[in-house]
Structure 1
C-alpha cells in the first residue's frame, strides 16, 4: 500500500509543479515504479500464505509428538521444533541436501505421489551411535552408510513418520507407506526439477548437539486437498460437529421426560339433559369435519396438526404441521 502524504508534502508537490521544477510525467513514472512487483515465472507461488500457515500448524503439532517419540527411543531429552517453512523448487531442495544423507521416500494416502523425509547425516549418525551403545557425542562423522546403518535409520524414520497420522487427524485420515531409503539425493528423480514443494525444516536438539531434519511435500501431493488446508473450514467443521453433538445430547435428555399428550377431535355443545342421557353407542356430532386435521395438545399447549388413523391395531395420528405460537387458525 502506498504511503499517505501529509498536507505539507502535498503543498510542496503542488508548488514544485507550479514552478516547473517537477513534471507530471515524473510523478506517473514513480507511481508506476511502485506498482511493479517482481515475479519469477519459473517458480510460481502455488502455496498461498493460508496454506503455509495451515501446514505450519499441522507440523508444529508433529514436532511436539516426535519430540516425545525420539526421547523414548534414544533415552535422551530431545526437543524438535519448526525452524522454517517455505515454498521452493524440488531442484533447490535437492541441491541444499548434503551427500551422503538419509532420504526416506514415503506415501501418505489419500494424498498423491511420493513425499520426502530427509535426515541430516549428523542426526542419523548420532541416533545410530546411541542405539548401538554409544553416547552420541561425536561431533563429525565422515563415512558412507553401511547396510546396518540403513536398516537402523529406516526403522527410526518409519517410527517418526508414523506420528504424522496423529498430526493430520484433525484435517483428514491418512496412512503412511514407506517406500525406500536413498543416501544419494542426486539419484532421486521422483519429481521434475521445477516442481514446487513445501519445505518444512525442523531443528532437533538432542543432548548437547543441534541438527536438522526436513520434510518435503510436493504441491502435486496436496493439490486435491487444498480446501482442507483453509483454517476457517476447520472451525466450521468443528462447529458443525459440536452442534450435532449438542443436538444429540439434548435429544437423549428429552427421551426420559414424561409429557401428557392428547388429541382434540373437535368441540360441540350439548345440554345437561342430553349429557345425562348418553349411553354406549350414542353419536355426538362435532364441529370438525372427518377429513379436517385434528389438534395435538402437549402439556395443555396446542403444538401440532395431525391426521387421525389406525396404527397397527391402535388408533393414532400422523403429524402434518407445527402450530406456531403466532398462528391461531389453520387454513
Structure 2
C-alpha cells in the first residue's frame, strides 16, 4: 500500500503547487507491481509441493527395497533410483510410454481405484532371459509377449507390487493386490484423459544398460489420504501419533540381535605355561568365585552381574546398570 499523507503534508503540497514551486507533472504515482502466477485451468495442480516431496521420499525407500529384490531374483547387481516425481495428465502418461510395454494394474487399499506399474518390454524381456537361463546382457528383440512370458513376468511384477507395502508403511498400511497385465497402453482407458496423476519415474541399471520404470498414481486414488502425504504430519506433536511412532520404532528394535559377553575374570600366563596346558588343568583368575562379573553389550560395558546357574544352564544375574555418563566421568 502507498504511504498515507498527514493533513499538514497535504496542505504543504497544495501550497507548493499553487505557488509554482512544484509542478503537477513532476508527481509520479508509483504503482505496486503485482506478481501474477500463471494457472492453467485445463491442467489444475492437484498435488502440492509437500505431496510431491512425500511421494518422492516414499518411493526413494521403495527403490532401495526393489533393488535388493531384483538383485536376489536375477542374481546380478541391480540399481534402482527415483528419476523424477511430477504431476501430469493421464493422457500424457499413456502417450509417453512405448508400445508394446507391460502395464500392471493393481489395487492398493485403502487407496481407491487402479494404480499402474509400467515396465517396458526390454526390461521385462531381459528379466525373462535371465530366469530362462540366459545372461540378460544381449539386447532382446522387441515382440509381443507369449502367454508363458506373461505368466512369468506377472510373478516378478507381483513381487515388485507387494514391496510397496514396506515402502508405504510409515504413511499408510496398504495392501497391494495385482489385478491384470496389459501390453497395449492405448487399450488401457481406465481414467479420463485429463485426469491428473502423480508419475514416479525410476531408472533401472542392469546388465550394463539403463532402462526406465514408472508408477502412475491417479489423484482420485489418493485424494482421501492427501493429509497424510504432508511431511509435517509425520512429525506432528499429537500424542497419539507420537506414541504410535514410538511403538513402531520399538517393534523394529525388538528384532535386532545384539552380542552379549560376560567376563568372569582375567589372568596372565607365560607362553611356556600356555603350551604346557593339558585337559583337567585349572587356570586361576584374578576374581573370586563370589566376585561380580562385567557384562558387555556390543563391546560396551553395560551391566555388572553375578555368575551362577539358572536351572541346568550357566547364567549371569544383572545386579547393576552402568550409565554412560558415570563411565565417561571415570
Scaled by the length of structure 1, the TM-score of the pair is 0.63
CA distance in 2: counterparts of 1:205 and 1:141, whole angstroms? 19
Give the CA deviation at 1:120.
Answer: 1.3
Structure 1: segments with no counterpart, 5+ residues: 1-17, 250-331
Give the CA deviation at 1:242.
Answer: 5.0
1:202-281 equivalence runs, <5 A: 202-236=202-236, 240=240, 242=242
Give a deviation string over 1:237-260, Cα, whole Å, max 9, x none. Answer: 7864555869xx9xxxxxxxxxxx
Structure 2: segments with no counterpart, 5+ residues: 1-22, 251-330
Map of 1:46 onto structure 2: 46
Give a deviation string over 1:183-220, Cα, whole Å, max 9, x none. Answer: 00000010000000000000001131111100000000
Q: How large is the Cα RMSD of the aligned pairs? A: 2.5
1:1-331 equivalence runs, <5 A: 28=31, 31-32=33-34, 35-236=35-236, 240=240, 242=242
3-state SS of 2:56 partner = helix
Runs of 4+ in 1 over 4 A off after TM superposition: 22-25, 237-246
CA distance in 2: counterparts of 1:63 and 1:113, whole angstroms? 23
CA distance in 1: counterparts of 2:170 and 2:81, whole angstroms? 20
Give the CA deviation at 1:236.
Answer: 2.0
Give a deviation string over 1:229-284, Cα, whole Å, max 9, x none. Answer: 111111127864555869xx9xxxxxxxxxxxxxxxxxxxxxxxxxxxxxxxxxxx
Partners of 2:71 and 2:77 within 8 A in 1: yes
3-state SS of 2:33 partner = helix
Scaled by the length of structure 2, the TM-score of the pair is 0.64
Q: Larger Cα Rg: Structure 1 or Structure 2?
A: 1
Q: Taking structure 1 as reference, are residues 24 and 90 closer, same or farther at Cα in structure 2, changes over 3 Å only?
A: farther
Q: Taking structure 1 as reference, are residues 109 and 31 closer, same or farther at Cα in structure 2, changes over 3 Å only?
A: same
Q: Taking structure 1 as reference, are residues 23 and 161 closer, same or farther at Cα in structure 2, changes over 3 Å only?
A: farther
CA distance in 1: counterparts of 2:28 and 2:39, whole angstroms? 28
Q: Taking structure 1 as reference, are residues 24 and 173 closer, same or farther at Cα in structure 2, changes over 3 Å only?
A: same
CA distance in 2: counterparts of 1:236 and 1:206, whole angstroms? 40
Q: Taking structure 1 as reference, are residues 124 and 23 closer, same or farther at Cα in structure 2, changes over 3 Å only?
A: farther
